[in-house]
Chain A
Amino acid sequence: MTTPRNPGLPPLRSSIPRFRGDPGNGKRLQRPLRFLTIGLVLAVAAFVVPDSAVKSTEVALVKVDRANGVDLTPDVIWILAVGSDARPGEDMTRSRGDALQLVGMDTKTGAATAIGIPRDSWVSIPGHGYEKINASLYFGGPQLLGQTVGNLVGIQPDYVFVSRFKFFQAMIRDIGGIDVVNPIAFDDTYLKPEGFPKGRLHLGGYDAMAFSRIRHNLIRGDFDRSANQQRVLRGIQAKVRARSAVPGFIERGVLTVMQHLYTDLSPAELFRLAQAMAQVEPRKITNCVVQGGIGDIGGASVVLPYVDRARRLGDEARNDATIDHC
């Protein structure tokens, strides 16, 4: 028998530099962060939160076992998903991030976690002193925003995805809307005057955007909004996962993203990333929001993040994209 062998095949390297940890040493990291200005905000993370690992499934009277896995380097990938508030005509890579979710994905176990960052978090932005964290996108683009969030949580993202509302809404429409479970009714005079009732909701493109953005009459303001963004992420993930086995679905998604994306990643890298995202196991998804106090600086309401707790979340999730306790 002449079974072919392929000795010594090296693992695929995505050439993504890893600069993890030690964020608090004040040293500016000159890493070529792979940032992607995509059209999916939370949507990348949408892709981001789909199924994997080994599992057993009983199908009728036939026992069918399933195995899956993806070879991606590094094993745990961190993506900062950013929803930009850029208006039409504005450069969204130099706007303010309206939604900030640091999403981790363990390609070996299928675990994923999202760490929500309140938009108004008052933090040190390298080279710019203290400011609201979302201003770092305006000051230094995706690279600086990634670095700033990385310094807060203690995990430097491998990718930064930036999206604007229009594409986000279109993406939600394209996948047929999403389902979320809303824990408490809320509304907004401008974005959603009729409000969102408590319970399971089906959200179309506009509603998913509004659900992610409304803050003012949420009990815990920015914190609850960040949690709502994570509910939207879960909803997107569930829909993407459900369709990931549809022939051509992932390929189309990658091509669509490429058409709305500024990136230095190759199409093959995007394809590998998308397939890895589609292998995330929903039961292994965890979410937390960085907590903090409320302060007033210069007349502006800000969140004073509990940095030690943020770092604890980062420490807990860094190696396996799992957080047991918020």
Chain B
Amino acid sequence: MTGVVAGLAVVALGSGACSDAGGSDGAAPDGGSPAGASATERTAGTRVSFGVLTGRLPSDARQRLSSQVGDVVDGWIDAAYVGGDYPRRDFSDVWPGFTAGAQQEAHHDRALMSNEDVGDRIDGVELHKSTVKLDVLAVKQHPVGVTARVFLGFRTTGDVEREVRVKGRLFLTHTDRGWRVFGYDVTKGDA
């Protein structure tokens, strides 16, 4: 078990967040600023940073958002790819932070949205890289929507040894159960 989920975010965003916006992308119509500053290194190794912030969001709200969304994304990464005891066949419930409808969609796409395609032929997963960048829509200084850009690199061991890259976007909104993934656009392939 890699424990990607295990760690609490060691949030050190300070007043900003990391920006990869590259110029005008960060300019928000209401005067919101491009996200800036540092990334957050979670104890499990997942780096959570901010991409483009549209609207205004106070630093404390950024910290909470980074931690909460990071937990959701880590929950998926851990359950679907790098956690668990391999070999394994059961990938039926590996989208813990997804809405029910999104879980159904992901189940249809389980070969991509998890390691279901090789799970029974590997004996472990070595995580190399796990990063999440958050593009945030904030209204009245509250985050209302997040696009989490995910990059995950790991190596499988066992009968199937390969370098795998998972890359894409998760779409999240806040519900009464916290931040939840309601949609995704993800690619998975060999490195």
Whether B51 and A67, one on each chain, are in contact in the complex, defined by CB atoms closer than 8 angstroms, is no
Binds B, one of A129-137, A149-157, A254-262: A254-262
CB < 8 Å neighbour of A254 from B21, B137, B180: B137
CB < 8 Å neighbour of A252 from B29, B75, B183: B29
1/0 per residue, CB under 8 A from B, across A1-24: the answer is 111111001111000000000000
User: A247 at the A/B interface (Cβ < 8 Å)?
Assistant: yes
Q: Say whether, besides A1-B84, A6-B96, A67 and B184 are in contact (CB < 8 Å).
A: yes
User: A312 at the A/B interface (Cβ < 8 Å)?
Assistant: no
- Residues of chain B at interface, number, CB under 8 A: 67
Whether B189 and A251, one on each chain, are in contact in the complex, defined by CB atoms closer than 8 angstroms, is no
Binds A, one of B39-47, B58-66, B105-113, B150-158: B105-113
Whether B137 and A255, one on each chain, are in contact in the complex, defined by CB atoms closer than 8 angstroms, is yes
Q: Nearest-CB distance from B122 to chain A (Å)? A: 15
User: A70 at the A/B interface (Cβ < 8 Å)?
Assistant: yes
Find the residue from B28, B29, B78 having the highest chain A CB count within 10 A.
B29
- Residues of chain A at interface, number, CB under 8 A: 47
- Complex formed: what's the CA distance from A259 to B87 in Å? 52
What B residues does A255 contact at CB under 8 A?
Answer: 28-30, 32, 54-55, 137, 139
Enumerate A153-201 residues with CB–CB distance to B below 8 Å. Answer: none
What A residues does B75 contact at CB under 8 A?
Answer: 3-4
Find the residue from A62, A255, A276 having the highest chain B CB count within 10 A.
A255
User: B79 at the A/B interface (Cβ < 8 Å)?
Assistant: yes
Binds B, one of A84-92, A120-128, A221-229, A267-275: A267-275
What B residues does A2 contact at CB under 8 A?
Answer: 1, 5-6
Q: Nearest-CB distance from B36 to chain A (Å)? A: 14
What B residues does A11 contact at CB under 8 A?
Answer: 99-101
Whether A1 and B83, one on each chain, are in contact in the complex, defined by CB atoms closer than 8 angstroms, is yes
What B residues does A250 contact at CB under 8 A?
Answer: 137, 147
Whether A64 and B109, one on each chain, are in contact in the complex, defined by CB atoms closer than 8 angstroms, is no
What B residues does A268 contact at CB under 8 A?
Answer: 144-145, 173-174
Q: Nearest-CB distance from A115 to chain B (Å)? A: 25
1/0 per residue, CB under 8 A from A, across B76-111: the answer is 001100011100000001101111111111101101
- Complex formed: what's the CA distance from A62 to B166 in Å? 13
Q: Say whether, besides A4-B96, A65-B111, A247-B52, A12 and B173 are in contact (CB < 8 Å).
A: yes
Q: Nearest-CB distance from A55 to chain B (Å)? A: 10
1/0 per residue, CB under 8 A from B, across A263-293: the answer is 0001110011001100100000000000000
Whether A70 and B20, one on each chain, are in contact in the complex, defined by CB atoms closer than 8 angstroms, is no
Enumerate B168-191 residues with CB–CB distance to A below 8 Å. Answer: 168-169, 171, 173-175, 177, 180, 182-191
Top 8 nearest A-B pairs (CB, nearest first) are A71-B101, A248-B52, A69-B105, A271-B145, A67-B109, A70-B183, A64-B189, A251-B137
Additional A-B contacts beyond A5-B96, A251-B52, A254-B145 (18; CB < 8 A) = A1-B84, A6-B96, A9-B98, A9-B103, A9-B177, A10-B100, A12-B99, A12-B173, A59-B189, A66-B187, A67-B186, A71-B100, A71-B105, A247-B20, A267-B144, A271-B137, A271-B145, A275-B171
Could you write out 8 A-B pairs with CB less than 8 Å apart? A1-B84, A2-B5, A2-B6, A3-B5, A67-B108, A248-B26, A268-B173, A272-B182
